[in-house]
Amino acid sequence: MDVGVLTVVVAALVALMLRRVVILRRDWHTARGFATGFLVVCVVILMTASAFEVKHQWVQARAAALVAHASGVRGADAECQRFTPELIDLSATSGFVFSDSQNVAHLRRTVCNDLFTWLLSNKRAPTDGQVRAVHITVHEAMHVRGEFNEARAECFAMQADADAARFLGATRAQATALAQRYYRDVYPRMPAEYVSGECAADRALDLTPGDGQFP
Ligand SMILES: [Zn+2]
């Protein structure tokens, strides 16, 4: 579990709330009205903040499980970007892995948000963002595995997308459809360094050779 600003806020709210409960139990008559009102406000804010924090920790744990599964690296981890860092992140990157701390996949906040909504959905009609979110997590897992060539990582990831979707709860048909959709709709629009004419993902994805941009 990582500790962010929201974690501290939740902890502070819990402390504040406990303090108010103690004051009320003491029946501190001069402050009773204020303490009750303040307690209600604290509970409402705490419930809201906790919901966001639980969401962050849960989707991050699912992403970490997927990265470990797809990379085959024990102890592999994932880190979902929090709200505050995203505000100052002007990069266009969706995810990255540091070569000197290779077992952690760093995922953009939007990727984790899309992964979260996909995990909660019935997975029958994923959005483009949700398809990309599953794939990006797998792509970063390929870097965790040690493949830092973008075209090769992308190619391996496309062949692992269906298995990844199954791992996260999709049916076989949903998983295959998700992997094929990335290959058909997203891959051809990726920057040149991510694309390779040698990638035989079309065969692995049970697509007719010639689909996408491969000969
Ligand atoms: Zn990459």
CB of 184 within 8 A of CB of 205?
Answer: no
Distance from residue 122's CA to the centre of ligand 1 (Å): 28
Distance from residue 62's CA to the centre of ligand 1 (Å): 20
The whole-number average pLDDT for the span 94-107 is: 94
CB of 62 within 8 A of CB of 119?
Answer: yes
Q: Is the pLDDT of residue 209 over 60?
A: no
Distance from residue 138's CA to the centre of ligand 1 (Å): 10
For residue 211, what pLDDT is reported?
Answer: 44
Write out the two tokens for 99: 């070569």
For residue 204, what pLDDT is reported?
Answer: 66
Distance from residue 154's CA to the centre of ligand 1 (Å): 7
Around ion ligand 1, residues with a beta carbon closer than 5 Å are 150
Residues 6+ apart with CB under 8 A from 212: 183, 184, 187, 188, 202
The whole-chain average pLDDT of the chain stands at: 89
CA distance 212 to 210: 6
Strands (E), 61-185: 77-80, 95-96, 104-107
Q: Is the pLDDT of residue 30 over 80?
A: no
Q: Is the pLDDT of residue 125 over 90?
A: yes
Closest CA to 64 of 45, 75, 77, 48: 77
126-149 confidence digits (pLDDT tens): 999 999 999 999 999 999 999 999
55-74 confidence digits (pLDDT tens): 999 999 999 999 999 999 99
Distance from residue 157's CA to the centre of ligand 1 (Å): 10
Q: What residues does each domain of the chain span?
A: 61-204
Distance from residue 131's CA to the centre of ligand 1 (Å): 16
CB of 7 within 8 A of CB of 53?
Answer: yes
